[in-house]
A and B are shown apart, each in its own frame.
Chain A
Amino acid sequence: MALLELENVCINFGGLKAVDKFNLALQKGELVGLIGPNGAGKTTVFNMITGVYPPTQGEIRFSEKKTNGLKPYRISKVGISRTFQNIRLFGELPVIDNVLVAFHQHTTSGLLASVWRSKKFWLEEESLVKKATELLAIFGLDTLKNEISKNLPYGQQRRLEIARALATEPKLLLLDEPAAGMNPQETAKLMLLIKDIQKKFDLTILLIEHDMQVVMGICERILVLDYGVTIAEGPPEKIKKDPKVIEAYLGEEIH
């Protein structure tokens, strides 16, 4: 049983067909890459999976249950989490609060309990802070937990976004260009981090990336998108040599 299935998924924006008959069967535990030139529709696929846009056609299934049309927060509760192409942190909030927000869906204190501040409320807050600090430690951010997140350097902001996504306790993690803007050393560290968290949190990961070092380095399988259509699929060695892929990225070969 595939964890995530996209079957002939299409989406139109006005007259533009942004994604056409996209198919994907993601098995549990896989680390798959989604690549393609800019504007190919990769983030749009992410947006459909996470419920930001409903597909115009086709079906998306998570653990065999259809998720088309569910609102994003419901999809998060089902076990899918993501990061964003352009960082979307809760900028004015401290680092730890960003993570605490993501824990919210697993809390049980209601509004009244928060106002009355029962013992249960305090215990839950304490355990949340503890869990958040531990999670931040994995990303090397626990010493910065009270910093206002928008003041963090870029690389740390990207890591915080991943940490936040993990706080929702997902089964599937969608990473949208996590290495964007990073230098080679940071990128290498990120690659190790991703493999590490995949093991530690028993995750299935779908990754959009332009940095070929990352893609070829950690992805088990790659899908290539161009103008909304899948033009190639397979392991890294095969994709590297595929002429259609080369053409899409570089234009036609010069003979």
Chain B
Amino acid sequence: MNQTKKIILIVLFSGLFLLLDVLISPRLNPYYLQILIYCGINIILAVSLNLINGFTGQFSIGHAGFMAIGGYTSAAFTFYLGPKILETLFFPLWFSKPLVFVLGLLLGGALAAFAGLLVGIPSLRLRGDYLAIVTLGFGEIIRVFILNIDAIGGARGFSDVPKYTSLFWVLGFTVLTIVVVRNLVYSTHGRAFLSVREDEVAAEAMGINTTWYKVTAFVIGAFFAGIAGGLLGHYLQYLHTNSFTFIKSFEVVMMVVLGGMGSITGSIVAAVILTLLPEVLRPVKDYRMVFYSILLVILMITRPQGIFGVREFNWDWLKKIFSRKKAQAEGA
């Protein structure tokens, strides 16, 4: 596919997302719209975590920390610097507001990526369980750290974040995350990530700089988690560290494990399932976590590879289904 075609596709899809936003958002029941937005955010979280845990084989259970950094940083930017930028820029508001938003999100992602770099460093010397605990610890340290900064709300939380997140942005960033991670994984770099997961010693012997790849996985994964955090903050218009605890990290881990570590399709499907499930289980809300935990244990015992294992959605599957249907129709 040549470069111009790619750019045309990007423009077309952006237009499509914009259209969907303009048509659907005002008409859809706000509850359903919220679910859609949460689905998108969770897909971004699951796919980005899968890069670290599933494809590179690192045990990271502190993803919520990166989310928090992204959320709070972008909110601080749009809240404090946003108005000043909007005043000074000469562009019309319908352009400069999204610009401020995107800048804020990117800044949040960048800072989260930097945190990913810091968290990635212990990963160089630690394996498995120990790494998991350290990532958990980092998540907690980040949370405590944020709690102590009054300028972004501290214990009261950060209120009055401008409502910039819309279906357009969520669709856009979700697709972006999926495409970036997928393209990365299905490339020579992706094979390098996988080799780190499979056998680090052999990977090093074959010329793979495993250190670089481990840290890079953390950095990229954290970046997208930061974006997700920013999207969430600018939707709820409120941020509190209670949303970014270990429980949140664990929910993302559940999505990755349920979908299949090493399957992007799996992460997408599982993210959607685990976004919808709490809503479906709302009548028995108190039993929800008990149900989840039992489900998790049973899943690990019976099917630890998750729904998709390491397989991805394939156009060939559709072709197979259609050719089978065609054969049936012709045979009849």
By a beta-carbon cutoff of 8 Å, the part of chain A in contact with chain B is: 50-52, 71-73, 76-77, 81-82, 84, 88-93, 97, 100-105, 107, 109, 111, 114-119, 121, 124-125, 128, 164-165, 167-168
- B198 and A90 within 8 A (CB): yes
The reply to whether A115 and B184 form a contact with Cβ atoms under 8 Å apart is yes
Q: Give A109 to B188 CA distance when docked, in angstroms.
A: 8
Contact between chains at A104 and B207 (CB < 8 Å)? yes
Decide: A104 near B188, CB < 8 A? Known: A81-B206, A168-B207: yes
Point out which of B191, B202, B205 has the most chain A C-beta atoms below 10 A from its C-beta: B205
Contact between B188 and A128, CB atoms less than 8 A apart: yes
What's the Cα separation between A109 and B205 when bound, in Å?
21
Q: Quick one: which of A93, A118, A119, A124 contacts B194, CB cutoff 8 A?
A: A93
Determine if A101 and B310 form an interchain contact, defined as CB atoms under 8 angstroms apart: no
Shortest C-beta distance, B207 to chain A (Å), equals: 3
Contact residues in B for A71 (Cβ distance below 8 Å): 204, 209, 211
Smallest distance from the beta carbon of B216 to chain A beta carbons, Å?
8
Q: What 12 new A-B contacts, CB under 8 Å, besides A101-B206, A104-B188?
A: A52-B205, A73-B204, A73-B205, A84-B201, A97-B191, A101-B203, A103-B188, A109-B187, A109-B188, A117-B6, A125-B188, A168-B207
Of all chain A residues, the one with the shortest Cβ separation from B176 is A115
Residue contact B208 to A105, C-beta cutoff 8 Å: yes
Q: Specify which chain A residues have a CB less than 8 angstroms from the CB of B202 in the assembled complex.
A: 84, 88-90
Task: Number of B interface residues at 8 Å Cβ cutoff, please give it.
Answer: 32
Q: What residues of chain B have their CB less than 8 Å away from a CB belonging to chain A?
A: 1-3, 6, 179-180, 183-184, 187-192, 194-195, 198-199, 201-211, 216, 262, 310
Determine the chain B residues whose CB is within 8 A of the CB of A102 once the complex forms: 206-207
Query: In the complex, what residues of A have CB within 8 A of residue B180's CB?
Result: 115
Closest to B216 in A: A111
- Complex contact B183–A114 (CB within 8 A): yes
Contacts of B310 in A (CB 8 A): 92
Query: A109 to chain B: which residues have CB within 8 Å?
Result: 187-189
A76 adjacent to B189 (CB under 8 Å): no
Q: With a CB–CB cut-off of 8 A, which chain A residues contact B205? A: 50, 52, 72-73, 76, 81-82, 84, 88
* Listed A/B pairs (23) with beta-carbon separation below 8 Å: A71-B211, A73-B205, A73-B207, A73-B210, A88-B199, A88-B205, A89-B198, A89-B202, A90-B194, A90-B199, A92-B262, A93-B191, A101-B192, A101-B195, A104-B188, A104-B189, A104-B207, A105-B208, A114-B183, A114-B189, A115-B183, A119-B3, A121-B187
CB distance from B223 to the nearest CB of A (A): 12
Q: Are the CB atoms of B184 and A111 closer together than 8 Å? A: yes
Bound together, the chains give a CA A107 to CA B189 distance in angstroms of 10
Q: Could you tell me if A77 and B207 are in contact, using CB atoms closer than 8 angstroms?
A: yes
Q: Is the CB of A104 within 8 A of B184?
A: no
Q: How many Å from the CB of B227 to the closest CB on chain A?
A: 15
Residues on the A chain within 8 Å of B207, using CB: 73, 76-77, 102, 104-105, 168
**Nearest A residue (CB) for B181:** A115
Report the Cα distance A149→B202, complex, angstroms.
14
B199 contacts which chain A residues (CB < 8 A)? 88-91
